[in-house]
Structure 1
Amino acid sequence: MWNKSVCVALLALATGYVFLLDSDLPDSVLKYLSSSFLYQLQGDLTSPESSMAAAWDVLITQPAKQWNRVAVGVNACVDVVLSGVKLLQALGLDSGVGQDHSILHSTKDLKEAFIHFMGKGAAAERFFSDAKSFHHIAETASAYPGAQLYVGGNAALIGQKIATNPDLKVLLCGPIGPKLHELLDENVIVPPESMQEFDEFHLILEYRAGEEWGQLKAPNANRFIFSHDLSNGDMNMLDVFVSSLEEFQPDLVVLSGLHMMEGQTKEMRQKRLLEAVASISDIPLGVPVHLELASMTDPELMSAIIHQQVFPLVNSVGLNEQELLFLTQAASGPHASLASWNGVPDVGVVSDIVFWILKEQGRTPGKASDLTRIHFHTLAYHLLVTVDGYWANQVAAVAAGARVAGTQACATQTIDASRVFLKAPLKFATSKMEEASTVSLNPHEPVSEWHRDGVTFHYTPVLVCKDPLRTVGLGDAISAEGLLYSEIYPY
Structure 2
Amino acid sequence: MADAHSVATFISVAIAVVMYFYSRQSTNELSLQLVRNGLLEEEAKASVEDKRVAVGFGGCRDVFVDAVDLFDKIGSKPPSSTRHYSNVGNQAEVDQLFAYFFQHGAAAERYVWDRKLFRNLVSSSEDMKDVRSVIGGNAPVMANRFAREGASVLLGSTFKRSTAESGLWKGVVLAGGDAAYRDEDDVHLVMEYPAKKQWGPYQASRANRFILHSDVANAKLESLQTLKKELKTLSANLLVVSGLQMMDSFPYAAGERKKLLEGVEKLMTSTGESTRRHFELASMSDESLFSDLLDHVIPYSDSLGMNEQELALIQSMILHNNLTTVSDSNPRLASALDQMRDVLTGLREREKAGGRRLTRLHVHTLAYQAIVTLRGSAWKNSGPAAAKAALTAFRHTCASDDIDLERSRLIMDTSFMSSLRGDGKRISVDASQPVTCWSEDDYEFCVAPVLVCTRVFQTAGGGDNISASGLVLQI
State TM-score, norm by structure 2.
0.87
User: Is 1:224 the counterpart of 2:207 in the alignment?
Assistant: no
Deviations 1:147-186 (A, max 9, x none): 1001110100011112223x43222111212342132223
Q: 1:69, CA displacement in angstroms?
A: 1.8
Identity of aligned residues (%): 29
Cα distance in 2 for residues equivalent to 1:468 and 1:486: 28
Q: Which residue number corresponds to residue 10 of structure 1?
A: none
Cα distance in 2 for residues equivalent to 1:260 and 1:342: 24
Cα distance in 1 for residues equivalent to 2:474 and 2:37: 21
Structure 2 counterpart of 1:89, one-letter code: D
User: Is 1:261 the counterpart of 2:244 in the alignment?
Assistant: no
User: Is 1:318 the counterpart of 2:305 in the alignment?
Assistant: yes
Q: Which residue number corresponds to residue 297 of structure 1?
A: 285
Q: Which residue number corresponds to residue 35 of structure 1?
A: none
In the comparison of the two structures, how many residue pairs are matched? Answer: 445
Deviations 1:191-225 (A, max 9, x none): 32322121110000000112112112111111011
Cα distance in 2 for residues equivalent to 1:275 and 1:446: 42
User: Is 1:164 the counterpart of 2:161 in the alignment?
Assistant: no
User: Is 1:153 the counterpart of 2:140 in the alignment?
Assistant: no
Deviations 1:56-104 (A, max 9, x none): 1111135477452221111211100010111122222011232221111
Moved more, 449-458 or 246-255: 246-255
Select 1:279's aligned residue among 260, 267, 283.
Answer: 267
For 1:336-355, what aligned pairs fall within 5 Å after superposition?
340-342=326-328, 344-355=330-341
Structure 2 counterpart of 1:267, one-letter code: G
Change (3 A) 1:314 1:216: same
SS in 2 for 1:143: coil
Q: Which residue number corresponds to residue 372 of structure 1?
A: 359
Change (3 A) 1:300 1:42: closer
Asked whether the 8 Å contact 1:303–1:331 carries over to 2, the reply is no
Q: Which has the larger radius of gyration?
A: 1
Q: Which residue number corresponds to residue 454 of structure 1?
A: 442
SS in 1 for 2:433: coil
SS in 2 for 1:332: helix
SS in 1 for 2:94: helix
Q: Which residue number corresponds to residue 113 of structure 2?
A: 129
Q: Which residue number corresponds to residue 176 of structure 1?
A: 159
SS in 2 for 1:350: helix
Structure 2 counterpart of 1:53, one-letter code: R
For 1:67-82, what aligned pairs fall within 5 Å after superposition?
67-82=50-65
Select 1:252's aligned residue among 208, 225, 238.
Answer: 238
Change (3 A) 1:45 1:374: closer
Q: 1:55, CA displacement in angstroms?
A: 0.5
Structure 1 counterpart of 2:208, one-letter code: N
Q: Which residue number corresponds to residue 468 of structure 1?
A: 456
Q: Which residue number corresponds to residue 5 of structure 1?
A: none
User: Is 1:212 the counterpart of 2:204 in the alignment?
Assistant: no
Structure 2 counterpart of 1:377, one-letter code: H
Cα distance in 2 for residues equivalent to 1:359 and 1:120: 29
Cα distance in 2 for residues equivalent to 1:41 and 1:131: 54
SS in 2 for 1:186: coil
User: Is 1:401 the counterpart of 2:384 in the alignment?
Assistant: no
Q: Which residue number corresponds to residue 33 of structure 2?
A: 50
Asked whether the 8 Å contact 1:423–1:464 carries over to 2, the reply is yes
Asked whether the 8 Å contact 2:51–2:237 carries over to 1, the reply is yes
SS in 2 for 1:163: helix
SS in 1 for 2:32: helix
Q: Which residue number corresponds to residue 6 of structure 1?
A: none
Cα distance in 1 for residues equivalent to 2:351 and 2:110: 38
Asked whether the 8 Å contact 1:119–1:219 carries over to 2, the reply is yes
Change (3 A) 1:342 1:293: closer
Q: 1:434, CA displacement in angstroms?
A: 4.1
Moved more, 423-432 or 476-485: 423-432
Q: 1:261, CA displacement in angstroms?
A: 0.9
Cα distance in 2 for residues equivalent to 1:113 and 1:366: 37
SS in 1 for 2:210: strand
Cα distance in 2 for residues equivalent to 1:100 and 1:464: 29
Q: Which residue number corresponds to residue 6 of structure 2?
A: none
Change (3 A) 1:414 1:42: same
Q: Which residue number corresponds to residue 435 of structure 1?
A: 423
Q: Which residue number corresponds to residue 386 of structure 1?
A: 373
Q: 1:363, CA displacement in angstroms?
A: 9.8
Deviations 1:30-62 (A, max 9, x none): xxxxxxxxxx99984852111100001111135
Q: 1:107, CA displacement in angstroms?
A: 1.5
Change (3 A) 1:64 1:419: closer
SS in 1 for 2:69: helix
Change (3 A) 1:59 1:186: closer
Q: Which residue number corresponds to residue 85 of structure 2?
A: 101
Cα distance in 2 for residues equivalent to 1:137 and 1:338: 28
Change (3 A) 1:338 1:273: closer
Structure 1 counterpart of 2:279, one-letter code: L
Cα distance in 2 for residues equivalent to 1:304 and 1:270: 7
Change (3 A) 1:143 1:44: closer
Tell me how large the CA RMSD over aligned residues is. 2.5
Asked whether the 8 Å contact 2:308–2:331 carries over to 1, the reply is yes
Cα distance in 1 for residues equivalent to 2:156 and 2:126: 25
Q: Which residue number corresponds to residue 18 of structure 2?
A: none
Asked whether the 8 Å contact 1:85–1:207 carries over to 2, the reply is yes
Asked whether the 8 Å contact 2:285–2:325 carries over to 1, the reply is no
Asked whether the 8 Å contact 1:289–1:316 carries over to 2, the reply is yes
Asked whether the 8 Å contact 2:313–2:324 carries over to 1, the reply is no
Q: Which runs of 5+ in 2 are unaligned?
A: 1-22
Select 2:171's aligned residue among 187, 191, 207.
Answer: 187
SS in 2 for 1:87: helix
SS in 1 for 2:103: helix
